[in-house]
Amino acid sequence: MSDELGRALDRISRVRGMRGSMWVSAEDGIPVAQLLMEGVSGKAVAALAASLVRKISGTAGAVGAGRVRFVQMEAAGGTLLAALAPPDLLVVALADSRVNIGLARIEMMRAAAAVAP
């Protein structure tokens, strides 16, 4: 894991209520780097996040909504967050109900901007 990617994951994971964060290949859903709590399946989270972002991005394009930058999916067990990071990465985070979504989003968007070419 590069130092830059690792530092970004550390900042995101320090947000209270985070269960972990990871960098994922947007195209194929393969984890690139991860910092997850024990018991969290990185491969499953990566595949879900990449699939979800692809589907939402395709739908947004079809209705003329433009490029998707951030996705939030809430479920009974927590929240999945994903931000697009050019050229072909996603920064993904898992959070519990205590998380400050706004702060998490800010950290994730900073991380995405930091790796953009």
pLDDT number for residue 50: 96
Name the residue ranges covered by the structural domains of the chain.
3-115
The answer to whether the peptide bond before residue 87 is cis (omega within 30 degrees of 0) is yes
Please give the distance of CA 51 from its chain centroid, rounded to a whole number: 12
Per-residue pLDDT of the chain (117 residues; tens, 9 = 90+): 578 889 999 999 999 999 999 999 999 999 999 999 888 889 999 999 999 999 999 999 999 998 899 999 999 989 999 999 988 999 999 999 889 999 999 999 999 998 887
CA distance 108 to 104: 6
CA dist 33 and 25 (Å) reads: 10
3-state secondary structure of 19: strand
pLDDT at 100: 95
Q: Could you give the dihedral angle defined by the CA atoms of residues 29, 23, 70 and 73, in that order, rounded to the nearest 10 degrees? A: 70
Distance, in Å, from the CA atom of 50 to the CA atom of 37, rounded to the nearest integer, reads: 20
Looking at domain 3-115, its CATH class is alpha beta
Kindly list the distances between the CA atom of residue 62 and the CA atoms of 51, 83, 86, in Å, as whole numbers in the listed order.
Answer: 17, 20, 21
